Structure 1
Amino acid sequence: MVAWHLSERNDLAFAHETLDRLRQHVNLRSVILHSDQGFQYTSKQFNRKLRQLGMLGSHSRRGNFLNNACIESLFSH
Structure 2
Amino acid sequence: MYYGEELVSYEELKRRIDEYIYWYNHERSKEKLAGLSPFEYRTQSGPPAA
Same fold by TM (over 0.5)?
Answer: no
Q: Which has the higher helix share?
A: 2
Task: Give the structure-1-normalised TM-score.
Answer: 0.21
Task: Give the structure-2-normalised TM-score.
Answer: 0.30
Q: Which has the higher strand share?
A: 1
Q: Higher Cα Rg: structure 1 or 2?
A: 2
Which structure would you say has the larger RCO, counting Cα contacts within 8 Å and 6 or more residues apart?
A: 1
